[in-house]
Structure 1
Amino acid sequence: MAQPADGSAPDFVSQAADPVREHLATSTGLADFLAGAGTLTLDERRLIADQAKLMLDQNYVHLPLKTAMHAVNPVQRLRVLRGRLERQTETTKPPEWMFHAEMSEIFHSVRDLHTNYLLPDPYARKVAFLPFLVERYEDDQGEHFMVTHVAQGFSAPGFEPGVEITHWSGIPIAKAVDLNAARFAGSNTAARRSRGTQSLTVRPLVMHLPPFEEWVTVSYTDDSGTKRELRETWRIVENLPPFVKEQAPMGTTLAEGLDLDMDEANRAKVMLFAPQVVAQKKALEAGEAAPEVRAGEMATSMPGVFRAQEVRTSSGTFGYIRIFTFLERDVEGFVSEFVRLLGLMPDRGLILDVRDNGGGIIFNAEFALQTLTPRPITPEPTQFINSPLNLRICRKHQDELGAWVPSMEQAVEIGSTFSSAVPITPETRANAIGQQYFGPVVLITNARCYSATDIFAAGFQDHRIGPVLGTDENTGAGGANVWDHEHLVALLEDEPDTPYVPLPKGAGMRVAIRRTLRVGANSGTPVEDLGITPDVPYQMTRRDLLEGNADLFERAGQVLKGLTPHPVAITEATMTDGALRLKVKATNIDRLDVYVDQRPRNSVDLTDGQADITIPDASTAQSARVEGFADSRLVASRTARLG
């Protein structure tokens, strides 16, 4: 498709989907965008470097690990940069993009997608894009890079989903992906390469400088075998706003675990390739009837968060829930909608898919786990690095952070590197509603899972909820709670000697503040850099990318077919003469233990899958719980609220 030479919107924008056409019409060419960039003064650059050194030196929990694993010293690099800035003048300072490039390189050196330098205006909130998406798959001939989505209205000869990319601006595509991957901060090879593929066509500018090239030349082979080339210019547009409420209690704000780059990229992909989600979101916000969902999908009040449907495989029909993000600040709303969707799923088995989920609010991830298992959930414990500044913050905010203070004060005497390990998520709330789904569950992950999603996948595996099926050899390995610079400023804003100073012109920084540790059989193992290794490895196929994960669902169905559901239901709970009578139906369960107000009151063997149980002296009971066992193994738990 020929591109306008004057920087005006390309032809495809006028044919874009209705929900995003007006938005995409505001896009500009790369050259026009860059003409208005670059307004930081030398003093502003010095301030940014000073604040970066403060955060990495005093707040960054992974600094010892990253220094050892990757042989880097970001604090010393900032000292060197700060020395150069001191010798520069307004007339001798280098171009601004060079300052941003060095700051980004220093932060990227620790290979931590929680710890970022965020570019100032006009880069913030913008995304650079090409109107198509490239994804990778493998077969007997090796790896392939294929176009999987094309923005509505865009066309070029033979260019459609399914065409194979051979070269990228003259570079063999596999090598181009590797070169691109080297620019990103993924904690492991799989994560970096996955992001190297995605960023071929979608780059959030809050995290990365704009492309150096104004256009790319894409060499591809169409369905007839004809070799073709496409020259396409980069466009810059404001990204969609986050699909979340802006305001949240401090405790929720401080419980964030998010890969911001992935979150920004996912919203850009929704804008370009899933405009129906934008339409659903706008309708819900306006109080209007939401547009029809796609065939087979179930309506949800959070279309940017969940997708739910049934999938038919040769192994049977199973439920499917995709969780796109845990970044929903209405925690109760998130959990309630997840529980509602679980209630619509067939009980034969559930495919739970968190691929490409960059995380969000840690509470959402850890509260959701209880709904899938009869076992009590132990939230992941977290640790601060011991520093005078972290101790000062925790002392000031005792309500949210007081649990870490005693060990941090003790560190002065014993010289420990980290504080004691304390969960962010309250254990009582992580077990408040209990199991809601009673079929087997398989979890699908990939290398773009990060942060709160790593925490969710680790908890899923550590609590033995079900097998993890991974399309990459591990997850993104983001094991931390992240705070941004604005939060740190706010935490000490009323103290006259606070070391934190607001950053100029929309610049920002984020830092991993508390590291997470696994529980259960993996107790004490950090998530950072290690990630979660799947129980069932899987390679995506061409059919997966073009036919809605068809082979992936087949494989997940095979896994679920070999597992046994254990449904249990309290069909009746009545009170007569002070006695509580429970009628229970259960399948594949041979024993029921009964608890009233958390106290054990009875245990019965099942022969025909039904039980009629009477508990005397229970007139004041508030809850009853039945736990189901198969071969002496706890397999199900159902709670009834009384009164």
Structure 2
Amino acid sequence: MSQPRSMKATGKKAAAKKTATRKSSARQEPAKTATGTKRAARTSAAKRTRAAASSTRTQRTATTAAAQAAAVPLPDFLGSAGTLTLVQRTQLVEQALLLLEQNYVHLPLKVAMHAVNPLQRLRVMRARMERQTAATMGPEWIFHREMSSIFHSVRDLHTNYLLPVPFAGKIAFLPFMIEKCYDSADVEHYLITRTVTGFSAPQFGPGAEVTHWNGTPIARAVALNGALFAGSNDAANLARGLESLTLRPLVIQSPPDEDWVTLSYVGLDGSTQELREQWKVATNLPPMTDLDAISETSASMGLDLDSDEKARAKKALYVRDVVELEGGQSSAELQTPAAVTGADLPTTMPGVFRAREVVTSSGTFGHLRIFTFSVQDPVAFRNEFVRLAAALPQNGLIVDVRDNGGGHIFASEFTLQTMTPRRIAPEPVQFISTPLNQRICRRHKDNPLGIDLGPWFDSLDLATETGAAYSAAKPITPEDGANDIGQTYHGPVVLITDARVYSATDIFAAGFADHEIGPILGVDDNTGAGGANVWTHGLLAALLNEPPPPDETSPYIALPNGANLRVAIRRTLRVGALSGTPVEDLGVKPTVMHKMTQADLLEGNVDLLNKAGSLLAALPHRRLDVKTTFSGTTLTVALEVDELDRVDLYLDDRPISSEDLTGPELSIDILEVTHGQLLRADGYQAGALVASRRTKV
């Protein structure tokens, strides 16, 4: 394969141009993709790790691979869809009305900000259905499209209509990915960056530039598509529009209108080419958890389901190594750490983290990518983050959360403490004041099942008298858990974000900014702006039925054919300087912007990481090392510091000493100390707390 062309490579004269039209049914060529090359270059250590995998995991992987191989053309899939009766459609409309009117926390904001009226649209839809019969009702795909359109109109990726079987669990895909970059003149370009193993076309692969999509200029096609799958801001709209050109989770997005796509592109040799590719449908990897179940995990979710579905689909299509390591289970935790490539540090969560040293133009730093916060155990997540960060260079850390759609809110807020000496204030959340929300909180105000809604009940109970629109603002994340281990990484930290950052990851980015942990480097001018805790219709129904006896007057009814609804139930608010500001629709703006380049897309984010490295190099590199030794009941504390002028010592949170520093080392004797006490050293520079370390003595 030839080298990727430069941004200004020109094609041949029009008379000599060749158009290569390819139908997906004719695909027989051997794999020649970048993914195939990486697979061929796996290290022997990685091979040994896979060879040691259990037979159960191997069976699951084989099942997943077989499911992907069984992808069917979109028309064939749609031919088997459509079994909802008129009564079932009416039930879905009525339950959607219930959730949006009684549970949806952002409804007043969305009506005001986006000038929409989803309740009236649903009422009109219901009225028209009352005039229909089984013989006169429209095709089911029109019903699904209208429902999806109503939910998309509020521009809230937490609040969704989830399609029933056979759409649930399926993805529609084209066998390649497109990403956007800019040249030196700030002109947009859309490049192929990945292809599915086994797919090839003339002069097609990473570096080929897409110019038209079904005859429409690619930038316009992206914008038009983004309007269908709207995010909370312009950057999010365009990001969603681009992603959905080639990948659509059918549980949350309507199937493509077209059976195939005609793609015009400039080939790797500069020639003008055309490709006709058919949409196919396959089974996606399973989700991490049952979001309908009554559990602390499902009740603490801040998850963009669209991004989560796409992340799992991308893993299945393009990162088979991780699928094999996880045994087909999303966000699986391995017993033994394993590395995906030779450059990565071994991790017990290969689908969650990727950690490696990166050499930048400003020095060598740590790069820790967080793909998702969607895990079952937030403490295990935090501990693996700590372990990986400790194994990376201590002079600077790049935390990269691009494309991360969120997950467990505890996991995001538990991790913040490890990068700052400041005490973490978890983001508070609010219910909208409605009789149904009050009823749910009353039933669970004494924490019978581990979902404690007591902190919000009193304010909801008073709302009828006070007229308050929202409940009191209380954190979901336990404050003790957000501060129980304190700072573990003491070098400077830079956070990288983009417009697909959402939900729990928006909360993470907001906390990073609000606690002044470090600069935020954005490849877009805002995050996805998803500020809420999200519950499913199934969870809401279960909360009125558990614990026994069930509430016989519950307005929630079972949804047909595996359909579901999701709703932003509690809105999140900023802390610190922006205390009380909603995250929803406003997002987290970066400190510094970087527009992705061709080299970023094709050479491992080289320019982006160089920019992050330059930010780290400009920040203070502080050090606070603490060593302790015992002699009887006397504890000797030896301190080694950089960029600090004072250290305060605490024993079990009681102050015992405050020392001004005149050099890089200091030794202090503390009398009457017993083994097992907690020593905390807080380091200051010019009166500001800038470092902290804890150790058991």
Scaled by the length of structure 1, the TM-score of the pair is 0.96
Alpha-carbon offset, residue 329 of structure 1: 1.1
Matched, 1:553 2:553: no
Alpha-carbon offset, residue 22 of structure 1: 2.5
State the match for 1:237 in structure 2: 282
What amino acid is the match of 1:545? L
Alpha-carbon offset, residue 545 of structure 1: 0.3
Alpha-carbon offset, residue 441 of structure 1: 0.2
Distance in 2, Cα, partners of 1:299 & 1:544? 24
State the match for 1:383 in structure 2: 430
Distance in 1, Cα, partners of 2:344 & 2:334? 21
Alpha-carbon offset, residue 220 of structure 1: 0.3
2:692 match: secondary structure: strand
State the match for 1:406 in structure 2: 458
State the match for 1:584 in structure 2: 639
- Structure 1 pair 21–11 and aligned structure 2 pair: CA distance change class (3 A): farther
- Structure 1 pair 627–288 and aligned structure 2 pair: CA distance change class (3 A): closer
Do 1:440 and 1:565's aligned partners in 2 also have CA atoms closer than 8 Å?
Answer: yes
Do 1:279 and 1:291's aligned partners in 2 also have CA atoms closer than 8 Å?
Answer: no
Distance in 2, Cα, partners of 1:370 & 1:223? 47
State the match for 2:216 in structure 1: 171
State the match for 2:526 in structure 1: 474
Alpha-carbon offset, residue 11 of structure 1: 3.7
State the match for 1:564 in structure 2: 620
Alpha-carbon offset, residue 79 of structure 1: 1.0
Do 2:293 and 2:538's aligned partners in 1 also have CA atoms closer than 8 Å?
Answer: no
Task: Map 1:172-251; keep pairs closer than 5 Å.
Answer: 172-243=217-288, 250-251=295-296
Matched, 1:417 2:469: yes
Matched, 1:528 2:584: yes
Matched, 1:612 2:657: no
Distance in 2, Cα, partners of 1:320 & 1:230? 37
Matched, 1:498 2:554: yes
State the match for 1:295 in structure 2: 342
Q: How big is each residue's C-alpha offset from its partner over 1:103-140, in whole Å with a ceiling of 9 and x where there is no partner?
A: 11111110000000000000001000011000001121
- Structure 1 pair 387–288 and aligned structure 2 pair: CA distance change class (3 A): closer
- Which of 368, 381, 384 in structure 2 is aligned with 1:321? 368
1:85 match: secondary structure: helix
- Structure 1 pair 549–4 and aligned structure 2 pair: CA distance change class (3 A): closer
Alpha-carbon offset, residue 621 of structure 1: 6.1
Q: How big is each residue's C-alpha offset from its partner over 1:309-335, in whole Å with a ceiling of 9 and x where there is no partner?
A: 000011000000000000001112111
Distance in 2, Cα, partners of 1:582 & 1:286? 37
Do 1:593 and 1:628's aligned partners in 2 also have CA atoms closer than 8 Å?
Answer: yes
Q: For structure 1, which segment, 446-455 or 610-619, has the greater mean C-alpha deviation from structure 2 after superposition? A: 610-619
What amino acid is the match of 1:368? T
Distance in 1, Cα, partners of 2:291 & 2:124? 37
Alpha-carbon offset, residue 590 of structure 1: 1.7
- Structure 1 pair 491–13 and aligned structure 2 pair: CA distance change class (3 A): farther
Do 2:291 and 2:535's aligned partners in 1 also have CA atoms closer than 8 Å?
Answer: no
Distance in 1, Cα, partners of 2:79 & 2:634? 79
Do 2:31 and 2:200's aligned partners in 1 also have CA atoms closer than 8 Å?
Answer: no
State the match for 1:431 in structure 2: 483
% of aligned pairs identical? 54
State the match for 1:83 in structure 2: 127
Distance in 2, Cα, partners of 1:111 & 1:4? 34
Alpha-carbon offset, residue 250 of structure 1: 2.0
State the match for 1:338 in structure 2: 385
Gaps of at least 5 residues in structure 2 are 1-20, 40-60
Do 2:31 and 2:197's aligned partners in 1 also have CA atoms closer than 8 Å?
Answer: no
Alpha-carbon offset, residue 460 of structure 1: 0.1
1:32 match: secondary structure: helix
Gaps of at least 5 residues in structure 1 are none
Do 1:12 and 1:152's aligned partners in 2 also have CA atoms closer than 8 Å?
Answer: no
Q: For structure 1, which segment, 20-29 or 428-437, has the greater mean C-alpha deviation from structure 2 after superposition? A: 20-29
Q: How big is each residue's C-alpha offset from its partner over 1:253-290, in whole Å with a ceiling of 9 and x where there is no partner?
A: 21100000001011111111111111221299797977
Distance in 1, Cα, partners of 2:506 & 2:109? 18
- Structure 1 pair 12–520 and aligned structure 2 pair: CA distance change class (3 A): farther
For these two proteins, the number of residue pairs brought into alignment is 638
Q: How big is each residue's C-alpha offset from its partner over 1:335-362, in whole Å with a ceiling of 9 and x where there is no partner?
A: 1111111111111100000000000010
Distance in 2, Cα, partners of 1:304 & 1:145? 27
Alpha-carbon offset, residue 552 of structure 1: 0.2
What amino acid is the match of 2:69? A
Alpha-carbon offset, residue 604 of structure 1: 1.1
Distance in 1, Cα, partners of 2:153 & 2:120? 12
State the match for 1:348 in structure 2: 395
State the match for 1:275 in structure 2: 320
2:453 match: secondary structure: helix
Matched, 1:396 2:452: no
Distance in 2, Cα, partners of 1:604 & 1:106? 62
2:136 match: secondary structure: coil
Alpha-carbon offset, residue 581 of structure 1: 2.4
- Structure 1 pair 406–627 and aligned structure 2 pair: CA distance change class (3 A): same
Scaled by the length of structure 2, the TM-score of the pair is 0.89
- Structure 1 pair 523–573 and aligned structure 2 pair: CA distance change class (3 A): farther
Q: How big is each residue's C-alpha offset from its partner over 1:559-617, in whole Å with a ceiling of 9 and x where there is no partner?
A: 0000012221222243x443332222222212110001111110112233222122223
1:336 match: secondary structure: helix
Alpha-carbon offset, residue 291 of structure 1: 6.6
- Which of 583, 597, 602 in structure 1 is aligned with 2:657? 602
What amino acid is the match of 2:89? R
What amino acid is the match of 1:422? K
2:228 match: secondary structure: coil
- Structure 1 pair 570–476 and aligned structure 2 pair: CA distance change class (3 A): same
Distance in 1, Cα, partners of 2:239 & 2:340? 29
Matched, 1:447 2:499: yes
Do 1:444 and 1:471's aligned partners in 2 also have CA atoms closer than 8 Å?
Answer: yes
- Structure 1 pair 224–3 and aligned structure 2 pair: CA distance change class (3 A): closer
Distance in 2, Cα, partners of 1:321 & 1:424? 26
Distance in 1, Cα, partners of 2:517 & 2:629? 28
What amino acid is the match of 2:375? E
What amino acid is the match of 1:356? D
What amino acid is the match of 1:611? L
Do 2:339 and 2:347's aligned partners in 1 also have CA atoms closer than 8 Å?
Answer: no
Q: For structure 1, which segment, 585-594 or 126-135, has the greater mean C-alpha deviation from structure 2 after superposition? A: 585-594
- Structure 1 pair 136–244 and aligned structure 2 pair: CA distance change class (3 A): same
2:511 match: secondary structure: helix
- Which of 136, 139, 144 in structure 2 is aligned with 1:100? 144
State the match for 1:154 in structure 2: 199
Distance in 1, Cα, partners of 2:392 & 2:479? 27
Distance in 1, Cα, partners of 2:490 & 2:675? 29
- Which of 679, 682, 686 in structure 2 is aligned with 1:627? 682
State the match for 2:46 in structure 1: none
Do 1:245 and 1:328's aligned partners in 2 also have CA atoms closer than 8 Å?
Answer: no
Matched, 1:461 2:517: no
Do 2:337 and 2:348's aligned partners in 1 also have CA atoms closer than 8 Å?
Answer: no
Matched, 1:359 2:406: yes
Distance in 2, Cα, partners of 1:582 & 1:149? 54
- Structure 1 pair 465–292 and aligned structure 2 pair: CA distance change class (3 A): closer
Distance in 2, Cα, partners of 1:183 & 1:506? 24
Distance in 1, Cα, partners of 2:434 & 2:623? 50
Distance in 2, Cα, partners of 1:244 & 1:158? 41
Distance in 1, Cα, partners of 2:483 & 2:30? 49
Distance in 1, Cα, partners of 2:150 & 2:178? 28
State the match for 2:536 in structure 1: 484
What amino acid is the match of 2:309? E
Do 2:178 and 2:191's aligned partners in 1 also have CA atoms closer than 8 Å?
Answer: yes
Do 1:283 and 1:291's aligned partners in 2 also have CA atoms closer than 8 Å?
Answer: no
Do 1:245 and 1:330's aligned partners in 2 also have CA atoms closer than 8 Å?
Answer: no
Distance in 2, Cα, partners of 1:178 & 1:504? 34
1:555 match: secondary structure: helix
- Structure 1 pair 325–534 and aligned structure 2 pair: CA distance change class (3 A): same
- Which of 179, 183, 204 in structure 2 is aligned with 1:135? 179
Distance in 1, Cα, partners of 2:383 & 2:159? 31
